[in-house]
Amino acid sequence: MKILSTIVVFACFAHFSYAQGANVNIEQNPKIDQLLEIYKSSLSNNEYYRIQVGFGNYAKAQAIKANVEEDFPDLSSKIDFDSPTYRVRVGRFTSKLDAERKFNEVRIKYPDAMLLKPKKSTK
Confidence of residue 117 (pLDDT cuts 50, 70, 90): confident
Whether 79 contacts 62, CB under 8 Å: yes
Average pLDDT, the chain: 84
Tens of pLDDT, residue by residue over 42-77, are: 766 677 899 999 999 999 999 999 999 999 999 999
Which H helix or E strand runs over 54?
strand 49-56
pTM listed for this prediction: 0.59
**pLDDT top residue among 33 and 17:** 33
Structure confidence at residue 120 (pLDDT) = 52
Instruction: Output 13 or 114, whichever has higher pLDDT.
Output: 114
pLDDT digits (tens, 9 = 90+) for 74-94: 999 999 998 889 999 999 898
- Cα distance between residue 36 and residue 39, in whole Å: 5
Interacting residues of 75 by C-beta distance below 8 A, sequence separation 6+ = 51, 68, 90, 91, 102, 106
